[in-house]
Amino acid sequence: MRVTVRLFARLRDITGASELARDLAPGATIGTVWRQLAGEFPALADYERSISSAVNADYARMDHVLRDGDEVAFLPPVSGG
Amino acid sequence: MTPLLAIGPDPLELERLAAALDASAGSNAGADGAVVTFLGLVRNHNVGRRVRYLEYEAYAPLALKAFERIGAEIHERWPDVRLALHHRVGRLEIGEASVAIAARSPHRANAYAACRYAIERVKQIAPIWKREFFDGGDMWIEGARADPDDQRARAEAERIACA
């Protein structure tokens, strides 16, 4: 299955992309995608404990199981206002 | 018509939030006795740096849901308050408004508390980021880890709002 990954702020700078496509095995979770990306982009490791994640524009936990076509987002600590 | 909750590149105007609240008041309009507003501005200094301008970025669909959640929390805590909340994205110059909030209620105490609560919660859970461009460089500002289910953060926002 294939998911779209959205990256924001400094995560976007680290990966050089605001959007990536990733192919995953069935049963993959948000955490699976994060570990795959962290393997590709070691600088993401700094964010291991501080990111939030979302699926299809709703906050979701790392153990959330993904489905084909999902949009996964990784969010560094926020600074709105 | 101006929506109660919005995120986008257009300049913010408190009048439009007040008008949106007025328009959505329906038959209860005459019962309200207070509107409290907050405007967050881009300032020219931050922890000793001379700030030139800011760039805001957001995950807009989730930001709108976060605003809805903040509205629902306010409805739970202060049932007679109605909220309008607009946040701007893109490049903002010094002195421009990045966030505008209006809280309307029969009595001022709840309107003040809810307005303060709303900005504290925006800073905790809205997926919005500012990049600061200052004399000598630029950097992403990173505040709170966004976790809408963190009850301690929510309690802290409420404590500040009611202080």
Measure CB to CB from residue A78 to each of B40, B99, B129 and give the nearest one: B129
pLDDT of B34 > 80? The answer is yes
Please name the residues in contact with A30: beta carbons below 8 A apart, sequence gap of 6 or more: A53, A55, A60, A61, A62, A63, A64, A66, A72
Residues from chain B contacting residue A13 (CB–CB below 8 Å): 140
- How would you write chain B as a 3-class SS string? CCCCEEEECCCCCHHHHHHHHHHCCHHHHHHCCEEEEEEEECCCEECCEEEEEEEEEECHHHHHHHHHHHHHHHHHHCCCCEEEEEEECEEEECCCEEEEEEEEECCHHHHHHHHHHHHHHHHHHCCEEEEEEECCEEEEECCECCCCCCHHHHHHHHHHHHC
Domain hosting B49: range is 5-162
A81–B123 C-beta distance less than 8 A:
yes
Q: How confident is the model at residue B27 (pLDDT cuts 50, 70, 90)?
A: confident
What's the pLDDT score for residue A16?
98
Chain A residue with the nearest C-alpha to that of B40: A81
What's the pLDDT score for residue B29?
79
Chain A residue with the nearest C-alpha to that of B132: A79
SS3 call for A78: strand
CA-based nearest distance A63→chain B, Å: 15
Best mutation target among B87, B120, B128 (most A Cβ atoms within 10 Å) is B128
In 3D space, the residue among B83, B160, B91 whose CA is nearest the CA of residue B124 turns out to be B160
Give residue-wise pLDDT tens across range B81-123.
Answer: 999 999 999 999 999 999 999 999 999 999 999 999 999 999 9
Q: Are residues A79 and B129 in contact, defined by beta-carbon separation less than 8 angstroms?
A: yes
Q: What is the largest CA-CA distance in chain A?
A: 39
pLDDT of B149 > 90? The answer is yes
What's the pLDDT score for residue B28?
76
pLDDT of B25 > 90? The answer is no
B142–A10 C-beta distance less than 8 A:
yes
What's the pLDDT score for residue B26?
82
Tokens (6 digits) for A10: 């400094």
CATH of the domain at B10: 3.90.1170.40
Interface A-B, measured as beta-carbon pairs within 8 A, has a size of 90
Chain B residue with the nearest C-alpha to that of A47: B145
Phi, psi of B78 (to 5 degrees): -130, 80
Give residue-wise pLDDT tens across range A31-76.
Answer: 999 999 999 999 999 999 999 999 999 999 999 999 999 999 999 9
Residues from chain A contacting residue B123 (CB–CB below 8 Å): 78-81
Q: What is the ipTM of this complex?
A: 0.97
CA-based nearest distance B32→chain A, Å: 27
**Number of domains comprising chain B:** 1
Q: What is the dihedral of CA B19, B23, B29, B35, to 10 degrees?
A: -30
What's the pLDDT score for residue A30?
98
A79–B127 C-beta distance less than 8 A:
no
Please name the helix (run of DSSP H) or strand (run of DSSP E) that holds residue A28, with its range, or none: none
Q: Are residues B92 and B56 in contact, defined by beta-carbon separation less than 8 angstroms?
A: yes
The verdict on pTM exceeding 0.90 is yes
Domains (ranges, CATH) in chain A?
2-75 (3.10.20.30)
